[in-house]
Amino acid sequence: MDEQIGRVLDALEAFGLAKNTLVLFSSDNGASQGGGGSNSPFRGWKHSLYEGGIREPLIVRWPSRVPAGRVDEQSVLNVCDLIPTICGLTGATMPAAYQPDGEDITRALRGERFERVKPQFWHYPTTGLSLAIRVGNWKLLTTSDGRRQELYDLAEDAGETTNLAGDRPEIAKSLTERLLTWQDELPLPTN
């Protein structure tokens, strides 16, 4: 894969398009359990809502608009941010009826301070912890009925080792309610 990405970037250079071409490179999930990869220091694997299953890199290259060589380990981004961000970077307008779940993260890409306004949601249909929400540094995972919760302060515990749901019941309850309301608004599967 590295070689093929290199060929694409070389072609952009050869045709004089690199300076004004936005290139985004990411992944869709963490490494598979037993596949030889590592998600360390994060807990979880592919098919998990722990950070090891959902935290991915985003590499951005656009020489005329995004500073090169920056590494941002603080900004919290989500795949839902891609459409608003591409529109923000390019000056394109989203349709008026489109209400994105994500946010324009252009500020973060330019090296400016960016703080999320909207919560981030995840749903992975399993028999266990199938829903997750992140608001600020708080992340809650729960079952589809909300009976079991795990709450983590990712600023202090990025590895999700200490469940704070019992110590911070007001936060766990509030996030569970938001998450279950969001789940109720999801479209029904079409299969």
| Chain centre to alpha carbon of residue 186 | 18
**What's the pLDDT band for 11 if we cut at 50, 70, 90?**
very high
Q: Considering the entire predicted model, what is its pTM?
A: 0.87
DSSP sequence for 131-188: EEEEETTEEEEE-TTS-SEEEEETTT-TT--S--TTT-HHHHHHHHHHHHHHHHHSPP
pLDDT tens-digit map of 122-171: 999 877 899 999 999 999 999 999 999 999 999 999 999 999 999 999 99
What average pLDDT does this structure show over 32-59?
85
Reported CATH class of domain 120-185: alpha beta
Whether residue 188 has pLDDT greater than 80: no
CB 153 within 8 A of CB 137: yes
Amino acid 75: pLDDT: 86
Amino acid 191: pLDDT: 66
Whether residue 31 has pLDDT greater than 80: no
